[in-house]
Amino acid sequence: MYQISNKIYCPKDIMQLELPTKLLPNPYYEYPFLVIKDFFSKENLEQLNEILRVDDDVEQAKVRKKDINIINRKIDKSIRETKIHKLPKEYINLYKKQFIFFQKKIEDYFCLALTTSTKPQVLEYTKGSFYKAHSDDSNMILKDNKLVGFTTVAHQRRVTTVLFLSDDYTGGELVFNYLYDENKQVVKLRVNSGDMVVFLSNPVFTHEVLEVTSGNRFTLVQWHDAIIN
Ligand SMILES: O=C(O)CCC(=O)C(=O)O
Ligand SMILES: [Fe+2]
């Protein structure tokens, strides 16, 4: 195993792959990802949950597919079973304001400068929903079912933010498939609503959302381009 931070390790075969966008955080940190506590207050979340629970303007989430060298987005329920809501209007400015407040912390942590960001999306996972292992900037290259590398599909995308919006669900842990702790256990996160998990979008941070077994898991995700310092 290769040690990527004080408490976290990554299998050598992953680190040895040709990864065009491999950027790693400071190895002297405890963890290679950042958890920002209380990005949204409990009051904000309560109201936002009420709005989302009756919002029926939803879209079925798609995944990237490569057909003869053209990347398309398609629904594939064997990879991803999630619904997408728009962030309610009343929350757009509050989200932006909070993001600006925490932006420097994110930039300092990963030694980069954020430039443009995608529109934030609210994801809804109900019982049976999941999102299989993927990297946010690349597609996996498999040969005879074995991972042999990654093709970058979102070249400028560096940082992923996931803000947790609800607590009343079971299952649905966020797993980092190639990150292991000191006890050789794969990293599985369950954070409180209002907290934001920030990580790099490259293949080292390949992640998965385990199946939700009850309740509603809402997250707000956004991807950010950046200039590396
Ligand atoms: O909902 C989550 O926790 C993560 C979602 C995700 O990985 C994605 O949209 O790329
Ligand atoms: Fe993702």
pLDDT in tens, 189-206: 999 999 999 999 999 999
Residue 27 and residue 104: Cα distance in Å, rounded? 19
Q: What is the pLDDT of residues 64-90, one digit of tens each?
A: 766 656 667 777 777 788 899 999 999
Of residues 206, 225, 221, the one with CA closest to residue 157: 225
Residues 6+ apart with CB under 8 A from 52: 85, 88, 122, 124, 165, 218
Residue 43 and residue 163: Cα distance in Å, rounded? 15
Residue 228, φ and ψ in degrees, nearest 5: -85, 130
CA of 100 to the centre of ligand 2 (A): 22
Pocket of ligand 1 (CB under 6 A): 123, 131, 136, 162, 174, 207, 209, 219, 221
**Among protein residues, the one whose CA lies closest to atom 5 of ligand 1:** 221
Lookup: tokens for 90: 């009343």
Ligand 1 atom with least separation from CA of 221: 9
Residue 63 and residue 74: Cα distance in Å, rounded? 5
Q: What is the pLDDT of residues 89-138, one digit of tens each?
A: 999 999 999 999 999 999 999 999 999 999 999 999 999 999 999 999 99
Ligand 1 atom with least separation from CA of 174: 3
Lookup: tokens for 164: 């947790």
Of the listed ligands, the closest to the CA of 120 is 1
Sketch out the chain's domains with CATH numbers.
Answer: 2-62+80-228 (2.60.120.620)
Ligand 1 atom with least separation from CA of 61: 9
Of residues 154, 140, 134, the one with CA closest to residue 224: 154
CA of 221 to the centre of ligand 1 (A): 6
Residue length of the chain: 229
**Among protein residues, the one whose CA lies closest to atom 9 of ligand 1:** 221
For the chain, the average pLDDT equals: 92
User: What pLDDT, on the 0 to 100 scale, is given for residue 156?
Assistant: 87
CA of 7 to the centre of ligand 2 (A): 22
Q: Is the ipTM of this complex over 0.95?
A: yes
CA of 220 to the centre of ligand 1 (A): 8
- More confidently predicted of 19 and 11: 11
Mutation pick for ligand 1 pocket among 162, 169, 192, 206 (CB with most ligand atoms within 8 Å): 162
Residue 35 and residue 57: Cα distance in Å, rounded? 30
Residue 106 and residue 229: Cα distance in Å, rounded? 13
CB 208 within 8 A of CB 132: yes
Instruction: Kindly report the pTM of this predicted structure.
Output: 0.94
